[in-house]
Amino acid sequence: MTIKVGVLGAHGRVGQAIVEGVNAAADLDLVAEVGRGEDLQVVVDNEAQVIVDFTQPASVMGNLEFCIKHGIHCVVGTTGFDEEKLAQVEKWTAAPGAGHVLIAPNFAISAVLTMVFARQAAKFFETAEVVEFHHPAKLDAPSGTAIHTAQGIAAARKAAGLGAMPDATEQSLPGARGADVDGIPVHAVRTRGMVAHEEVIFGAQGQSLTIRQDSYDRSSFTPGVLEGVRKIAQHPGLVVGLENYLDL
Amino acid sequence: MTIKVGVLGAHGRVGQAIVEGVNAAADLDLVAEVGRGEDLQVVVDNEAQVIVDFTQPASVMGNLEFCIKHGIHCVVGTTGFDEEKLAQVEKWTAAPGAGHVLIAPNFAISAVLTMVFARQAAKFFETAEVVEFHHPAKLDAPSGTAIHTAQGIAAARKAAGLGAMPDATEQSLPGARGADVDGIPVHAVRTRGMVAHEEVIFGAQGQSLTIRQDSYDRSSFTPGVLEGVRKIAQHPGLVVGLENYLDL
Amino acid sequence: MTIKVGVLGAHGRVGQAIVEGVNAAADLDLVAEVGRGEDLQVVVDNEAQVIVDFTQPASVMGNLEFCIKHGIHCVVGTTGFDEEKLAQVEKWTAAPGAGHVLIAPNFAISAVLTMVFARQAAKFFETAEVVEFHHPAKLDAPSGTAIHTAQGIAAARKAAGLGAMPDATEQSLPGARGADVDGIPVHAVRTRGMVAHEEVIFGAQGQSLTIRQDSYDRSSFTPGVLEGVRKIAQHPGLVVGLENYLDL
Amino acid sequence: MTIKVGVLGAHGRVGQAIVEGVNAAADLDLVAEVGRGEDLQVVVDNEAQVIVDFTQPASVMGNLEFCIKHGIHCVVGTTGFDEEKLAQVEKWTAAPGAGHVLIAPNFAISAVLTMVFARQAAKFFETAEVVEFHHPAKLDAPSGTAIHTAQGIAAARKAAGLGAMPDATEQSLPGARGADVDGIPVHAVRTRGMVAHEEVIFGAQGQSLTIRQDSYDRSSFTPGVLEGVRKIAQHPGLVVGLENYLDL
């Protein structure tokens, strides 16, 4: 039995990649493609069980209210959720018969696993650093994902009772030791030709462990989105972060 | 309160590294160093709570029987355990007041985590390959650790219902695609100067995840051994594999 | 002063990337785009000084004869040249006023430099191995580039009087040590999501040197083609291989 | 015919590694080992043709004056040479029958080649960054080798007429983009377990080239020192930098 899927924001670049991904999956059935400004009623009429929303912060709340109330589950990659909006979505999902919601800042399965493994590994190593690599047109440094990864490592170190990392540096050029994110150095490399890559380097006596994630093109979020579509029926209410779906 | 530790095989290269590690740890107290052919009674007389055994297959069973019966826990890196010997050790540990036993083929925490993470990640990726790098004096290819890693990936793929990996290769030089370990290609590189290194490469649409472990010298097993010493009191009976102690 | 450029095979995928590259270069002027079956006379009429040919083996010889005789230089990425065809091209270029020709099997500057540096480094290291990574739809393993790289290393070792590499392997699974290309082990990894990547690993006492090339998309040959266009006026006759243009 | 070699500073850690290296080389004959404060006359008495000096800044000038005047060639890894001292050494080597001198800040062949290749590659890429990795007991960041590498890249870019590298970063945490060495970002990672490692990352359209050097232990300078010993007879006067001996 296949799952009936609707795609909102279907005509954008990301939406097109999801449409292709759903069409290529034998267990998923694409029943609705909705573009900007088009009527959402089609997802109800075509009996979509799950919708995928990669639209705009300005439209996503309306989309979610409509779908949740119709009992349709929502896999959401649109950005711009603050605490207040999350609370509102959670309230909607609490109603009887309401649709479930997954909101994730990053659907690239390799990036999500890098963060999860980094948090798991952190307590076993004396040192941890993050190096991320992106194309030189990127506006922020370090990337949000790298900052998030470093914060997770820092929290895991703290929970395990680890103190500050050893670092004997006395003589240094400004910036050489990277940005300090909760005590974890984070380095941002900008290289023409690269897309989005992250490396977490842990060190202990006589050894190191490196977890590296490479995104080669924009379609890298597709497998994670499809994973969300397949599992959302088992996760009532609001869930934030794909890692909660992974059954590790 | 410190833990009182005895080291068996204390005069060998590995034993010396452990002796140094125990001495450097504030929460551990070295109370006995036993060399080949020396009397084990010293570990009882000095009230060792845990012994570490990196000796020989010919002597380890005798060491274990003696220590377990005296209620002393045993952290064991000595090789050569078959099913029969493991059953015997398990029987000894079942007696009232018996010492606990941890037997691990690999105590390098980075290598153990690589295997654990590889098994966790396997079900999310279409392809998985293992590349290991060692010095050219190594006798076996691939390494036991790489084979073990590949077997874990293969088992995880099977459990998740994944079939054979895609591979369109039609024209190939013999050996180019590596050794086949339960369907996972494993490649062994032999490079002067390197010590022991392993890389697991997972691929999915538009992305890859690489988990890499580097051992730079023989002391790399020390942190894992000390982890075993600290936690063995909480793990009754026989446990095989350091991963079972890691609380991931 | 700009260089006037014509592109043959302009409507194919590769041709389009070159058209974009020429258009984006301030020192180059695109004067002709010729598709399959269209009349070449346009490159003469529009006074092209250099043409780029990424067409088919069946048409490239006719294109070259025409352009060379009109004194137009030719940068050629089309495949299928054997000794006989190369000899014919060389003869055409020997005439007074003839156009110059550059034929290269690989225009990705990072791949070309990897081969060049590998040949330079080979004599200083005891061991050398090649690992290449491609998408699983690739038909041949190892890649032609990896074989070519290994052959270059083998030739450099031989010229320096180096013998067989050390390798103590006694117990091995078939394929673990890779394909043997003139004594150099070559390993081919097939990973979903990757494009085209090559790593050359040299080892000597206490150290290793790794040269790695990553191609992330099809446009990676463009900078090398433009380099060829800019320099071909200084290289009379037939030159095979972009490395001869690099002034290292 | 073997080359007769004397080792000064023979009882230090580095000296011992060189003694072992000379002893292991079939074409070299160890004729003198001189420790701190011992009489240099033994290198003359035993007819050393080349000496290796890994001693102290306070003693190296005296050693060089003595050996050069006796026509003995000197391979020197001792640090602390300023312009004045180099001028003095050069003057000594200009005398008839004087010994030749090679002074090199780094004898690890993999590190030297990384610098050489980085300079060669620089003009072909839009972007270049350096990441170095050392143990956390290192006092300076970035390493001298990394700074030297970045300066070489910057000089090569300037010579080729390349301008500033593209970097759209608008929003940044302090230090994220590394230290600025003549316009080249340099990042220093400090990881327990690592020794000395350097990575140079070049980027161009659709591709990247990475040159990486790993030093696993202190003996990594030995092959470079022996290369110096073998070739110094062909290089009269004073030469600074092993790269000048490599015949690339």
Average pLDDT, chain C: 96
**CA dist., res. B209 & res. B114, Å (int):** 12
Q: Which residues of C are catalytic, by number?
A: 134, 138
B28 — pLDDT class (breaks 50, 70, 90): very high
Subunits next to B (3 or more Cβ pairs <8 Å) are A, C, D
The answer to whether A219 contacts B206, with C-beta atoms less than 8 Å apart, is yes
Q: In what order do the strands lie in the sheet with C207-215?
A: C179-181, C184-190, C127-134, C196-204, C207-215, D207-215, D196-204, D127-134, D184-190, D179-181
ipTM entry: 0.92
E strand intervals along chain B: 3-8, 28-34, 50-53, 73-76, 101-103, 127-134, 140-141, 171-172, 179-181, 184-190, 196-204, 207-215, 238-240
B248 — pLDDT class (breaks 50, 70, 90): confident
What pLDDT, in 10s, does the model give residues D19-38?
Answer: 999 999 999 999 999 999 89
Report DSSP letters for chain A, one per residue. Answer: -PEEEEEETTTSHHHHHHHHHHHH-TTEEEEEEE-TT--THHHHHTT-SEEEE---HHHHHHHHHHHHHTT-EEEE------HHHHHHHHHHHTSTTPPPEEE-S---HHHHHHHHHHHHHGGG-SEEEEEEEE-TT--EES-HHHHHHHHHHHHHHHHTT--PPP----EE-TTTT-EEETTEEEEEEE-TT--EEEEEEEEETTEEEEEEEEE-SGGGGHHHHHHHHHHGGGS-SEEESGGGGS--
Q: Which of C107, C110, C127 to mutate to test the interface with D (most CBs of D within 10 A)?
A: C110
Q: Decide if pLDDT at B1 tops 90.
A: no
pLDDT at A101: 98
**CA dist., res. C124 & res. C120, Å (int):** 9
Q: Which residues of D are catalytic, by number?
A: 134, 138
pLDDT at B218: 83
* Interval A71-96 mean pLDDT: 96
What pLDDT, in 10s, does the model give residues B39-96?
Answer: 999 999 999 999 999 999 999 999 999 999 999 999 999 999 999 999 999 999 999 9
Establish, for the pair of chains B and C, how many residue pairs have beta carbons separated by less than 8 Å. Answer: 182
pLDDT at C27: 96
CB of A129 within 8 Å of any CB in chain D?
yes
* Residue A199 is assigned to a ligand binding site: no
pLDDT at C218: 83
Report DSSP letters for A157-225, one per residue. Answer: HHHTT--PPP----EE-TTTT-EEETTEEEEEEE-TT--EEEEEEEEETTEEEEEEEEE-SGGGGHHHH
Point out which residues pair with D201 in neighbouring strands: D129, D210
Query: Cα B79 to chain center, whole Å?
Result: 10
Whether B91 sits among the annotated catalytic residues: the reply is no
* Interval A6-32 mean pLDDT: 95
B101 — pLDDT class (breaks 50, 70, 90): very high
Point out which residues pair with C51 in neighbouring strands: C6, C74
* Residue D183 is assigned to a ligand binding site: no
Report the residue from A140, A190, A205 with minimal CB separation from D192. Answer: A205
- Write down the residue that tokens 């006074």 correspond to: C47
What pLDDT, in 10s, does the model give residues C111-170?
Answer: 999 999 999 999 999 999 999 999 999 999 999 999 999 999 999 999 999 999 999 999
Report the residue from B137, B142, B203 with minimal CB separation from C191. Answer: B203
Q: Encoding tokens for residue A225?
A: 């989105």
b/e map of D115-133 (b: 16 or more CB within 10 Å)? bbbbbbbbbbbbbbbbbbb
Contact assessment for residue A10 and residue A27, using Cβ atoms and an 8 Å cutoff? no
DSSP letter, residue B81: -
- 3-class secondary structure for D80-130? CCCHHHHHHHHHHHCCCCCCCEEECCCCCHHHHHHHHHHHHHHHHCCEEEE
Q: Which chain D residue shows the shortest CA-CA distance from A206?
A: D193
* Architecture of the domain defined by D3-103+219-245: 3-Layer(aba) Sandwich (3.40)
* Interval B106-111 mean pLDDT: 96
Report the residue from A172, A185, A192 with minimal CB separation from D204. Answer: A192
Subunits next to D (3 or more Cβ pairs <8 Å) are A, B, C
Q: Decide if pLDDT at D218 tops 90.
A: no
Q: B114 CA to chain A: closest CA distance, Å?
A: 8
**CA dist., res. D63 & res. D43, Å (int):** 11
Q: Which chain A residue shows the shortest CA-CA distance from D190?
A: A167
Every domain of chain B and the residues it spans: 3-103+219-245, 109-216
**CA dist., res. B169 & res. B160, Å (int):** 25
CB of C214 within 8 Å of any CB in chain A?
yes
The answer to whether C220 contacts A194, with C-beta atoms less than 8 Å apart, is no
List of chain C residues with pLDDT < 50:
none
B227 — pLDDT class (breaks 50, 70, 90): very high
pLDDT at A30: 98
CA atoms within 13 A on the CB side of D94: 6
Q: Which amino acid is at A36?
A: R
pLDDT at B5: 98
* Interval B110-135 mean pLDDT: 98
Q: Cβ contacts (< 8 Å) between B248 and chain A: which residues?
A: 120
pLDDT at D156: 98
Contact assessment for residue C216 and residue A194, using Cβ atoms and an 8 Å cutoff? yes
CA atoms within 13 A on the CB side of C237: 8
CB of B44 within 8 Å of any CB in chain D?
no
pLDDT at D18: 96
Q: D11 CA to chain B: closest CA distance, Å?
A: 23
* Architecture of the domain defined by A109-216: 2-Layer Sandwich (3.30)
What pLDDT, in 10s, does the model give residues A116-174?
Answer: 999 999 999 999 999 999 999 999 999 999 999 999 999 999 999 999 999 999 999 99
Q: Which chain B residue shows the shortest CA-CA distance from C170?
A: B139
